[in-house]
Copies of this chain bind each other. A is one copy, B any other.
Amino acid sequence: MFIKNTWYVACTLDELAALGDKPLGRTICNEKMAIFKGPDGQVAAVEDFCPHRGAPLSLGQSCKNGVRCGYHGLEMGVDGKTVHMPGQRVRGFPAVKAFAVVERYGFVWVWPGDQAQVDVAQMPVFKFFDDPAWAYGGGLYHVQADYRLMIDNLMDLTHETYVHATSIGQPEIDETPCETKIDGDKVITQRFMDGIQAPPFWQMAMSANGLDPQAPVDRWQICRFTPPSHIMIDVGVALAGHGGFDAPADKKAYSVVVDFITPETETSHWYHWGMARNFKPGDAALTDSIRQGQGGIFSEDMEMLQLQQANMLRYPERKLLMLNIDAGGVQSRRVIDRYLAKEQTPNAQAHSADPQTEAKATA
């Protein structure tokens, strides 16, 4: 069960561009979609099912009407209604579901749920994507685990000491208690480590930023969850005693770890990860170097999450512990559960329509 009346990252604009006029087939919250550049150059998404013979529309290609099925040439509009098919009258053809799409921050965002409730105003805002003082680099992993295991992982960075011992982990992390706060639907878990040695990844960042990598630092980790499953983590180090997170820019190396976690099925998800930094934004080589480092670090989590998932499927009756360090994940799941309950109320469902006949315009 997923929150479906909300915005998820479906893919990057780069992924789509790399395919040329071919659509991208992707499943999001159990909805199988064909995502493609529509006739007006705007990205659109429709159910990946041709109403003629059930072929995946993602095997077709973009066309002036929307997307053309690669089997017999049916042309589907961005609203999920058949526009044209050679030699056929298409008026009575059943529509497929069309998904509202927003292009923003280099990503394609989709609303997989009830299209009558689509609300562009609910799109989350991330200022650093539009600020030239910041640079961004990231990647995508397909993870065979419940997306909530990734939320647990990211809302408790204690694991860095063990999973990422050679890059960002250090003993001080699990020696320092973390604090979890709830602010409406937001969950914040933070930890401050003062007067410590920076771990390898941050030494690299300090050097890149013109700081002595061996100097003692104040380090912070501030994990911010917002529903459905976006996690922004303020991370950084400042030369010790200059105010930590609030230190002036030339005394610190500061970034935001960006995590867009998109459920695929009950036991798999798409993990768009990245890092936005507010130093040396024009240094493309540094962006690549950080992306490579972060990609390596995050791949260390994947085996753990996938085998944790396997263990949970094997022992479905076992209850896991919820310790203080788990509070970030526990509270985030409570927010998710609240949203799920809200979506399941009859009132919320009153607007939802049958996927086969529903065909709303994309945003």
Q: Using a CB–CB distance below 8 Å, which chain A residues touch chain B?
A: 32, 48-49, 51-56, 59-60, 68-73, 85-88, 93-94, 152, 156, 158-159, 161-163, 174-175, 177, 303-304, 307-308, 310-312, 314-315, 318, 320-321, 323-326, 356
Min CB–CB distance A273 → chain B (angstroms) = 18
CB pair B54 A311 closer than 8 Å:
yes
CB pair B321 A159 closer than 8 Å:
no
CB pair B72 A156 closer than 8 Å:
yes
CB pair A48 B311 closer than 8 Å:
yes
CB pair B174 A56 closer than 8 Å:
no
**A163 proximity list for chain B (CB < 8 A):** 70-71
CB pair A93 B321 closer than 8 Å:
yes
CB pair B73 A321 closer than 8 Å:
no
> A156-B72, A308-B55 in contact; A49/B326 too (CB < 8 A)?
no
Q: Interface of chain A, helix or strand or loop or mixed?
A: loop
Q: List 26 A-B contacts (CB under 8 A).
A: A32-B314, A48-B311, A49-B311, A49-B318, A52-B320, A52-B321, A55-B307, A55-B308, A56-B310, A56-B311, A59-B304, A70-B162, A70-B163, A70-B304, A71-B304, A71-B308, A72-B159, A73-B174, A85-B323, A86-B161, A86-B175, A87-B175, A87-B324, A87-B325, A88-B325, A93-B321
Min CB–CB distance A194 → chain B (angstroms) = 17
**A94 proximity list for chain B (CB < 8 A):** 321
